[in-house]
Chain A
């Protein structure tokens, strides 16, 4: 499968714990995006990378959230001191970053904070 891969698919954690998600984009895609989707809502933009550079962060990305993309390949999204409000689907997408190319989404990581 050469699509966008996310790991884990599901994560249940206790409030206050730290969690880390991984995204492997389609190879050769230099743009990588993170979105968050809560039940009954559309995805909301969190941040995006051009290669290893993080170019934009949403106001949704509080200081408890950090994203990295070392070497411009895979990316990680870490949430520190999780809160119940962090429960959501975290989606990763990647694109070639050239004109008229679409972004492909992974299947997401479903986070439940109990």
Chain B
């Protein structure tokens, strides 16, 4: 059973575009929702995370939108750059950031110059 569903599987945008990646979860006990960025041959690195008591969080060019009633959250990347080309994973956890993470399957983002 996949508890976190991520879409799209891949995404291509032009430089300056705003890619949007969506995730949906089923377990209402999840209370921590991070996004990770992974480059080939590297481990995932935390980009930004949100808790269900807020509907939006922004850090630099990255924004998470969270819809608790729909059990969905999304990542927006403003003014995307070729250096943002990577695989992005959403994840969820019960018990905050100090517990095991359940990951989505990932979105391969390509930002063309």
Contacts and interface: CB of A to CB of B under 8 A. Distances in A.
A105 B98 contact: no
Nearest to A50: B98
A106 B46 CA distance: 12
B43 A105 contact: yes
A102 B6 CA distance: 21
B31 to A, nearest CB: 11
B33 interface: no
Interface string A24-61: 00000001010100001111110010000000100000
Given A102-B46, A106-B43, A107-B43, A42 B103 contact: yes
B97 A100 contact: yes
A101 B98 contact: yes
Interface of A is mostly: loop
B44 A31 contact: no
A98 interface: yes
Interface in A86-113: 91, 93, 95-108
Contacts of A100: 96-97
Contacts of B98: 31, 95-99, 101, 103
Classify chain A: how many residues form its interface, as a range: 20 to 34
A107 B42 contact: yes
A41 B102 contact: no
Contacts of B41: 107
A67 interface: no
A79 interface: no
Max count, chain B CB within 10 A of own CB: residue among A42, A45, A98: A42
A9 to B, nearest CB: 9
Nearest to B32: A100
29 contacts: A4-B43, A33-B100, A35-B101, A40-B105, A40-B106, A41-B106, A42-B4, A42-B103, A42-B104, A43-B89, A45-B100, A45-B101, A56-B100, A91-B43, A91-B44, A97-B98, A98-B98, A99-B97, A99-B98, A100-B97, A101-B98, A102-B49, A103-B98, A104-B46, A105-B43, A106-B43, A107-B42, A108-B42, A108-B43
